[in-house]
Amino acid sequence: MSTIVIGGGIIGLTTAYHLAREGHPVSVVDARKSGLGASDVNAGWVVPAVSGPVPAPGMVLASMKWMLRRDSPLSIRPSVHPDFVRFMLGMWRHSNARDYRRGFEAHLRLAAGSMEMLDEYLADGLDFEMHDGGLLLAFLDEAHLEHYADDLELVGGHGIESRVLLGDAVREQEPLLSDRVRGGIHFPGERFLDPGALVAALRLRLDSLGVEIVEGAPIDDVAVRGDRVTEVVSRGRRFGADNVVLAAGAWTGVLSRLFREPLPVRSGKGYSLDVAPMPLRSAVSLSEAKVAVTPLDGRLRLAGTMEFGELDETVDEVRVDAIRKGPAAYFRDWSTDCGSAAPQAGMRPMTPDGLPIIGRLGRLVNTYVATGHGMLGVTLAPGTAAALTDLIVRGHCSPVLEPFAASRFARGA
Ligand SMILES: Cc1cc2nc3c(=O)[nH]c(=O)nc-3n(C[C@H](O)[C@H](O)[C@H](O)COP(=O)(O)OP(=O)(O)OC[C@H]3O[C@@H](n4cnc5c(N)ncnc54)[C@H](O)[C@@H]3O)c2cc1C
């Protein structure tokens, strides 16, 4: 049973890998070089513990406040385009406690086997840097810890261990934190990895499994007969297979129209930059600054911001500067002059309810979609690939996928 995967980001590559290692012929087609953009520049956290959806209680108020600041961690580029207005209204509608909790639980179920599957990838010969030092949420204001009480109870119910650290206890956990940090939450079971190394390792392994990776080939047309896609086309070059998987990240919204099954996927741009290394024990979330800090071999990655706008990967230096300055309040002896590689941008694929879209694509019986993973593409990639492979190969629709069906948008989600 052959499959064409459109999009060679982390989601497309892991899906191709799961299919190919079961012996199925797969081709991956990417508009440019595979594994760039979001799948390369991200913070590399594998963190079911903080996998709550983006639309959360209080988000509407926070976004109003942040929209007024040029260097804020969240920006919404206003547009009167009906698709954009519908998308933002949807997101605000889902910013309530009930939807947040349901979405969080759905993510937790999808992410349940992530760590074990990443270990399997290593055992299968994929060579990438991964650390198990956990995740530390650091707070300048102790009061902000209280917002996490419900989340801790929820993740605890899914077997995720956490420790609340008040005052100096947070510095016992992470001695490089400054005295201004008043508390923290440590999740010892969470991990972080080098995302560029993971996608490179996946590409290599796909190569050895005989998967064809076609790069520089933007899909620009789709041939449909009845309820089946017969071919996808890039600049006149035609690709045919038994099945098609649409995994084009933030571009999926535009591409889905070629299939005449439009999906509300938009871009949430973020940035990362690598600075001089720091011997941190765990990945650290600078909670108020909204900056993710990842200690990788030989460098420290800083990542952040969420800009809702068009498909555009240009770098906004003002926002990057805010990321660069973020750590100053949290770490002892932080210097912004610690050498940094050029900042990079990536577009997260966002949906109005903050949940991925995984499963069959509308009326098309041989076409599947896997996108909308937002801030969680690395965390959710193994679970997505495993469940989708089960659906494509065995026709088994895991109950884990139920909240992620594309059909929810036809019902007005
Ligand atoms: C700053 C930042 C930090 C992040 N940190 C984390 C983190 O710590 N942990 C985590 O879990 N997630 C994180 N994320 C989110 C994660 O990076 C994304 O969810 C994930 O990369 C999305 O992967 P994807 O494969 O869906 O999309 P992409 O990586 O965007 O891949 C889509 C691919 O489709 C291709 N494509 C587009 N159009 C076409 C076409 N017409 N034809 C063929 N191919 C096409 C593109 O070229 C691209 O290669 C972060 C994201 C950002 C931006």
**Is residue 371 in contact with ligand 1, taking CB distance under 6 Å?**
yes
pLDDT at residue 337, rounded to an integer:
60
Name the burial class of residue 98, with classes exposed (0-12), middle (13-18) and buried (19+) by CB atoms within 10 angstroms of its CB: exposed
**Is residue 294 in contact with ligand 1, taking CB distance under 6 Å?**
no
pLDDT at residue 341, rounded to an integer:
78
DSSP class of residue 23?
T
Task: List, for residues 124-175, the tens digit of each pLDDT value.
Answer: 999 999 999 999 999 999 999 988 988 999 999 999 999 999 999 999 999 9
**Is residue 344 in contact with ligand 1, taking CB distance under 6 Å?**
no
pLDDT at residue 233, rounded to an integer:
98
Type of residue numbered 255: L
Pocket test for ligand 1, best of 11, 27, 29, 42 (most atoms within 8 A of CB): 42
**Is residue 259 in contact with ligand 1, taking CB distance under 6 Å?**
no
Determine the structural domain holding residue 274 and report its residue range.
Answer: 3-409
User: Are 183 and 139 spatial neighbours (Cβ–Cβ below 8 Å)?
Assistant: yes
Instruction: Output the domain CATH number for residue 213.
Output: 3.50.50.60
Taking the CA of residue 283 as reference, the ligand 1 atom at the shortest distance is 8
User: Are 191 and 131 spatial neighbours (Cβ–Cβ below 8 Å)?
Assistant: yes
pTM over 0.95: yes
Task: Please count the structural domains in the chain.
Answer: 1
Q: Ligand 1 atom 3: the closest Cα is on which residue?
A: 42
DSSP class of residue 342?
P
Listed as ranges, residues in the chain with pLDDT below 50 are: none
Q: Ligand 1 atom 26: the closest Cα is on which residue?
A: 249
Identify the CA nearest to 42 among candidates 375, 382, 316. Answer: 375
The CA 91 to ligand 1 mean position distance, Å, reads 20
The CA 347 to ligand 1 mean position distance, Å, reads 6
pLDDT at residue 185, rounded to an integer:
98
